[in-house]
Amino acid sequence: MTVFSFENVIILRMKIKRKTYNKIKKYSLITLCILILVGIFYSIFWTNFIKINNFVVEYDNQSYTNYLENELNKTLNEKYLKFIPKNNLLTYSGSEIKNITKKIITNAKSISIHPSSLHTVKIKITTYTPVFRLNNNEVIAMEGKIYEELNYINDLPVFIASSTPNINLINNILDLKEKINKVLFNINQIEINQDDNIIFANKDLDQKITFKKESDFKKIWSTLISAIDTDPLKQKLKNEKKNSYYIDLRIDNKVFYKFWPKAKHDIIAPNNYENATNTESN
């Protein structure tokens, strides 16, 4: 037979109160955490605490900069799942910004996106450097990429070839082009024909230099500079530099050349070079 004493009753009541207290404490902590999370969620998504007011674009063409900023600012009114806004620092889409930027800034090489304040996101655009122009506004960059250039490109030499050159060939052509520009004529057209001959030509296409694509470019330059510093080619260039001429460097250690009176309608096509039989050799 169990005997209940006064002391036992008090201890039992204390145990019941302690369990109730622990439950209240537990539920209170859970409720507090929920309220804190709701508060954070609300302050982030439905207040102006980290709301993006605008995008700032760093790019060297102001008209395209303004247009891109306007297009990006339109995305601030969009939402995820119809209720989560995109216009704050935690929810803006970097991939979407890059896609929009690439469609407008076609010469963008790299795009850096980072917040510059609690209400502004900065987009910094690094562009490709065009070295040759193709048809319309298309160009070839130093890296061999073909893209549509937004800036002025008429000063670039025209490039004609059946395939895109690799980076090594581009660098070799650029290096040789700059050297020839200083000593002979400004190169405005570069062609790689079906026989893999590279042809440098001036604006009027009546002064040309040709050599093989697989040539050692340093050797091509040393052979050329040696020839133009030695008579009779040296004297020819001195007296007839403004006339039409071509210089053929396709045979190792030999330079063939021909001069004729300059005439706008008298332009020899590259594929007729080998038919010019009246050549002089150095």
pLDDT tens, 53-73? 888 999 988 889 999 999 998
Burial (CB count <10 Å: 0-12, 13-18, 19+), residue 7: exposed
pLDDT at position 264 is 46
CB 68 within 8 A of CB 100: yes
CA distance 100 to 85: 18
pLDDT at position 267 is 40
- Closest to 191 measured CA to CA, from 179, 206, 204, 208: 208
CA distance 33 to 180: 74
Q: Which CA distances in Å does 133 have to 65, 96, 153?
A: 23, 30, 7
pLDDT at position 52 is 78
Task: Output DSSP code: residue 203.
Answer: T
Q: Which residues of the chain have pLDDT under 50?
A: 264-282
pLDDT at position 16 is 55
CB 228 within 8 A of CB 234: yes
Burial (CB count <10 Å: 0-12, 13-18, 19+), residue 248: buried
Q: Which residue has the tokens 């109160």?
A: 17
Q: Read off the tokens for 146.
A: 């073909």
Q: Which residue has the tokens 């053929």?
A: 248
pLDDT at position 198 is 96
CA distance 208 to 245: 7
